[in-house]
């Protein structure tokens, strides 16, 4: 490495540090702020889950509900009016 290359490396080091700090700052905000945390066993989970209701005649999704991870399955109502299971 020549003297000029060493000088440029010293000049560019703070800029690289600033860029790395900026990337870390941006990565902290990529996670949705609406999701919630829950714990299943010893594993922690963050985000959302989707509950679906499928038809019995055709395996098509008739209805879906998106909720946070901490929302218990028994609290989600997927009943379709007029249809009794």
- How many angstroms separate the CA atoms of 8 and 69, rounded? 50
Residues 80, 62 contacting (CB under 8 angstroms): yes
37 and 71 housed in the same domain: yes
- How many angstroms separate the CA atoms of 40 and 51, rounded? 18
Domain that holds residue 39: 32-77
Q: Does the residue 62 lie in any domain?
A: yes
State the pLDDT confidence band at 10, using cuts at 50, 70 and 90: confident
What's the structural domain count of the chain?
2
State the pLDDT confidence band at 26, using cuts at 50, 70 and 90: low
Quick one: tokens of 58? 């055709």
Q: Does the residue 23 lie in any domain?
A: yes
Each residue's pLDDT tens digit, 37-53: 888 899 988 888 898 88
8 and 41 housed in the same domain: no
Has this prediction a pTM greater than 0.85?
Answer: no
Q: Residue with structure tokens 């609290």?
A: 75
Could you give phi then psi for residue 66, rounded to 5 degrees?
-105, 125
15 and 39 housed in the same domain: no
Q: Does the residue 24 lie in any domain?
A: yes
Each residue's pLDDT tens digit, 59-76: 898 888 888 888 888 888
26 and 36 housed in the same domain: no
53 and 18 housed in the same domain: no
């Amino acid at each position: 490495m020549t003297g000029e290359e060493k000088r440029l490396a010293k000049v560019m080091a703070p800029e690289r540090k600033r860029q790395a700090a900026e990337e870390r700052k941006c990565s902290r905000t990529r996670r949705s702020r609406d999701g919630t945390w829950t714990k299943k066993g010893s594993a922690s989970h963050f985000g959302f889950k989707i509950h679906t209701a499928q038809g019995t005649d055709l395996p098509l999704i008739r209805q879906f509900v998106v909720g946070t991870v901490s929302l218990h399955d028994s609290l989600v109502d997927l009943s379709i009016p007029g249809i009794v299971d």
